[in-house]
Structure formats: C-alpha cells, structure tokens
C-alpha cells in the first residue's frame, strides 16, 4: 500500500506540475498596457526632437498629425467603441487589419506605429529610437506572451507603413523644390524681410499641401485686413500706431504675456557682432502639450488620449494651411516694417518678427482651432494650468478655459509688436471655425 501511495503521488505531481520550460505569463498585461503615459511620452519626445531639429511651425504640425493618426489607427481594433479615420481624412484609405481570432496588445501596436512614423519624419531618428527601446522595455516587463508581443509589434509596423505611404501623397515633397517667394518692392503694402536675419519668406507654398479634413485651403476664409494706408488719420495707421504705443509702454503684464506665447522655434539673438540662435517649442507643440495637460486632468485612458491628439493635430494642420493661404494672398506688411518707415525708424518689436506676411496671425489661428477641439472634448469651463514654458524659465499660467488661453495668445502677438489687432482677431475667428469643422466632421466614435 505504501509503495502504491507513493506511485500515485508521483503521478499527480507529473500531471499537475508545470512542464519544464513553461512560463507563467502576466494575466493583467492588457490592463497595464492601457497606460496613457506611453502615448504622452511619445508625443513629448516628438516635441523635443522637433525643437532640436528646428522645424518650421507648419511642418511641425504635419509631423504631429501623421504620428498621432498612426497611433490612433493601430489601436482602433482593440477599442470597439471607436472607428477608423479611413475615408474621413482626405486620401486616407483603409489600412491593414489584425488577424481574426488572434490576441494583440493594441496599445503596444499604437505606440510602435506612432513612434515609427515620427522617426521617419524627423532628422534625429536616433532620439526616437532611444525612447522606443525604453517604452518597449516597459512593455516587455509586463510579461505578456511572446507571440502577442511579436504580433502587436508587426501590426504597428504595418499601420505605420500605411500612414507613411499616405503622407507621401500630400504634395509636401513637391513644395521642397518650389521656387522662392518673390518680394514685391514696388507696392508699399506688401511684406518685406525683417531684421535681424532678413530671412526669405517661410513656406510660401504651404497652401498647396493637401488638407487633412477641410475640402481645400480656401474652404474657410478669414476676414480681410484693414485697408492699407499711410495717411495718419487712416484706420491702418491707427492700428499700427496702437502696436507702436503698446511696445513703447513696456507694461510688465503685457511683456510677460508676449514672452509666454512667443513660441519661436528659432529666434536669432544679436549682441554686438555676435549672433546666436535660441530654440523654443513651436506654437503647435505648445498646444499639443496643453492637450496632454487636458488628458491628464481628465484622467483620460490611452484611447481617449490618442483621440485627443488626433483631433488637435488635425485642427492644427488645417488651420496652418488656411492661415498660410491668407498670408500669401493678402501679403501684408508687418508692423515692424510699417512703423520703421512711417512712424519711428528706431522702433523695434518686443519679440522677433517671424519671416512671413502679417495677416492673419498664425499663432492666433491655430490656437483657436486647438481650443475649439479641446473645448468640444473636455468642456467649456475646463480649468487647467499650463507648465509648457517652465523649461524656458517662465512660470506656469492658469486658465479657466481653452478659449481663455487662445484669446490671450491673440493679444500676446500685439503685445509683442508683431501683429496688428485685426490680424489677431481675424485669426481667432477663423481658427475657431476650422477647429469646430474638424471636430464635427471627424467621427472617432461609432
């Protein structure tokens, strides 16, 4: 009997013990993978690289849009209440689908797709690769089944390839070799290069980039500028003189507001015979950062965060295209040039005048577009604190709503001496219309 008992006991151990080489995997890896910080970290790294590589603001928005859309599209199959953007974004066709009946970690696929696209659209690819390795190490530590990890990564790669192919059809490559903007020296109302760099006009062919959601660059038009005049009693002279007096007054509150929203990707500083550049976050990057604040404050999960970035980035891109179409249509002289010629030759703006025509204010337009999207997503009275400028030595600012922040952006451009009041107000109005249209037309929920 004793030997028989021992035999039964040994047999039980053989039958119910794990086989050699078998590994117990984490049953909760899907919940752990649904961490929005993976998405926030990816967007933030793209922001840092855009700043380092000095991309122009419209180009930065393009990078954000394709990266965010890739991340969103790769995660959609894992979140049944959401739907693809195929057929909603101009030229975006249905992409690869996951294999039926197989298990995936869709947040892993989404982060991989987003960073893979971002890596292809920037110069400093190695910096994104470093982050990919860090994030993928975090996913590996979740101890998910190896076949799920491999399958998810491959699916993310496939979606990234699909989005990158789509990106090559937006006319961006063709604009890289387009001719420079011709300066009209005979007409006094026209834009001309400004100090200290006297740079060529920035992205004059941007209106020819394919829009993301709008039908065309001229679907939504801004109010026209004030009629040009050099007469002292004219409306145009008065608005220029308003800018002149604001900067001369040196009001500390206005100065702080101007510098807070400066967001010049590359400002050239001059000290005696020395010239050196200062890199800051782009206007679009500032609003993608505010989008991250909103996601965290609302405790948004990874899919809602992806939806937020997609809609904000799409509004930014279309707002830039609409704004640039108006800039190079009206081709209006900047306050600095007008004031130096007709009011005070020694006057200088507080912040550096960017190298493109005045009307409308790009920062005002894209800020209002982003604010419209965020307001629709998170509510009209969504209070938040923005710490974007802390890394540049500027303390956080608090706002009662997204529109309060975008309205302050408009004023900041006048406080800084680089825009007339009409350029800011027209930009804010147009931007709101663009943002609302993008939000209404892009249906992310089923």
- Could you report the per-residue pLDDT of 73-112, keeping only the tens digit for each? 999 999 999 999 999 999 999 999 999 999 999 999 999 9
**Within 13 Å and on the Cβ side, how many CA atoms surround 177?**
3
Contact assessment for residue 128 and residue 119, using Cβ atoms and an 8 Å cutoff? yes
Beta carbons within 8 Å of 154's beta carbon, 6+ residues apart: none
pLDDT for residue 12: 36
Lowest-confidence segment of 274-278, 294-298, 343-347 by average pLDDT: 274-278
Give 178's DSSP letter: S
What is the pLDDT averaged over residues 11-39?
70
**Cα–Cα distance between 400 and 242 in angstroms, integer?**
28
pLDDT for residue 269: 54
**Cα–Cα distance between 154 and 274 in angstroms, integer?**
50
pLDDT band (50, 70, 90) for residue 19:
very low
pLDDT for residue 17: 37
Contact assessment for residue 131 and residue 41, using Cβ atoms and an 8 Å cutoff? yes
**Alpha carbon 318 to its chain's center:** 11
Question: Is domain 188-441 given the CATH code 2.170.190.11 in the classification?
Answer: no
Respond yes or no on whether the N-terminal peptide bond of residue 444 is cis (omega within 30° of 0): no
Average per-residue pLDDT for the chain: 91
**Alpha carbon 106 to its chain's center:** 23
Considering the chain, tell me which residue range(s) the CATH 1.10.606.20 domain(s) occupy: 188-441
**Cα–Cα distance between 146 and 148 in angstroms, integer?**
5
Q: Is the pLDDT of residue 159 over 50?
A: yes
The fold for domain 31-171 equals Vanadium-containing Chloroperoxidase; domain 1 (1.20.144)
Radius of gyration of the chain (CA): 26
**49 compared with 302, residue with greater pLDDT:** 302
pTM of the predicted structure, to 2 decimals? 0.92
Strand (E) positions, 245-347? 266-271, 274-279
pLDDT band (50, 70, 90) for residue 136:
confident
Residue count of the chain: 446
Beta carbons within 8 Å of 247's beta carbon, 6+ residues apart: 347, 348, 349, 350, 415, 416, 417
Considering the chain, tell me which residue range(s) the CATH 1.20.144 domain(s) occupy: 31-171
pLDDT for residue 227: 98
pLDDT for residue 128: 75
Question: Which helix (H) or strand (E) is 248 found in, with range?
Answer: helix 235-249
Beta carbons within 8 Å of 245's beta carbon, 6+ residues apart: none
C-alpha angle 311/317/321, rounded to 5°? Answer: 145
Give 226's DSSP letter: P
pLDDT for residue 21: 46
Q: Which of 133, 145, 122, 114 is nearest to 30 (CA)?
A: 145
pLDDT for residue 6: 34
Contact assessment for residue 189 and residue 236, using Cβ atoms and an 8 Å cutoff? no
Q: Is the pLDDT of residue 426 over 90?
A: yes
Q: Is the pLDDT of residue 4 over 50?
A: no
Output the CA torsion 389→390→394→400 (10° steps): 70
Q: How many CB atoms lie within 10 A of CB 56?
A: 19
């Amino acid at each position: 009997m004793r030997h028989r008992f021992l035999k039964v006991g040994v047999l039980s151990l053989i039958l119910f013990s794990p086989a050699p080489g078998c590994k117990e995997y984490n049953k909760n890896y899907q919940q752990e993978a649904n961490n929005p910080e993976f998405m926030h970290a990816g967007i933030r790294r793209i922001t840092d690289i855009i700043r380092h590589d000095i991309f122009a603001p419209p180009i930065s928005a393009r990078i954000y849009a394709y990266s965010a859309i890739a991340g969103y599209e790769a995660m959609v199959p894992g979140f049944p209440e959401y739907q693809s953007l195929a057929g909603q974004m101009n030229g975006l066709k249905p992409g690869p689908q996951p294999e039926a009946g197989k298990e995936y970690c869709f947040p892993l696929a989404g982060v991989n797709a987003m960073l893979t696209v971002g890596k292809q659209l920037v110069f400093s690819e190695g910096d994104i690769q470093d982050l990919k390795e860090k994030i993928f190490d975090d996913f590996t530590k979740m101890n998910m089944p190896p076949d799920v990890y491999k399958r998810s990564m491959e699916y993310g790669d496939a979606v990234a390839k699909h989005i990158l192919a789509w990106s090559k059809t937006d006319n961006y490559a063709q604009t890289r070799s387009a001719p420079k903007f011709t300066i009209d020296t005979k007409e006094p109302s026209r834009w001309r290069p400004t100090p200290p760099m006297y740079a060529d006009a920035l992205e004059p062919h941007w209106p020819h980039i394919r829009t993301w959601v709008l039908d065309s660059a001229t679907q939504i038009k801004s109010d026209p500028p004030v009629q040009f005049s050099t007469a002292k009693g004219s409306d145009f002279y008065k608005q220029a003189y308003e800018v002149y007096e604001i900067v001369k007054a040196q009001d500390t509150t206005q100065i702080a507001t101007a510098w807070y929203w400066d967001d010049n990707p590359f400002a050239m500083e001059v000290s005696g015979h020395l010239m050196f550049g200062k890199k800051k976050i782009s206007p679009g990057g500032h609003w993608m950062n505010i989008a991250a604040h909103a996601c965290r404050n609302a405790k948004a999960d990874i899919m809602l965060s992806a939806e937020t970035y997609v809609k904000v980035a799409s509004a930014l891109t279309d707002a830039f295209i609409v704004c640039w179409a108006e800039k190079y249509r009206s081709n209006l002289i900047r306050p600095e040039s007008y004031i130096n010629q007709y009011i005070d030759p020694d006057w200088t703006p507080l912040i550096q005048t960017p190298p493109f025509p005045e009307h409308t204010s790009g920062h005002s337009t894209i800020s209002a577009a982003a604010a419209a999207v965020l307001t629709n997503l998170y509510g009209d009275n969504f209070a938040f604190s923005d710490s974007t400028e802390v890394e540049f030595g500027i303390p956080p600012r608090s706002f009662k709503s997204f529109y309060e922040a975008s309205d302050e952006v408009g004023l900041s451009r006048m406080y800084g001496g680089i825009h007339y009041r009409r350029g800011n107000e027209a930009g804010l109005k147009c931007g709101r219309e663009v943002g609302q249209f993008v939000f209404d037309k892009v249906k992310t929920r089923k």
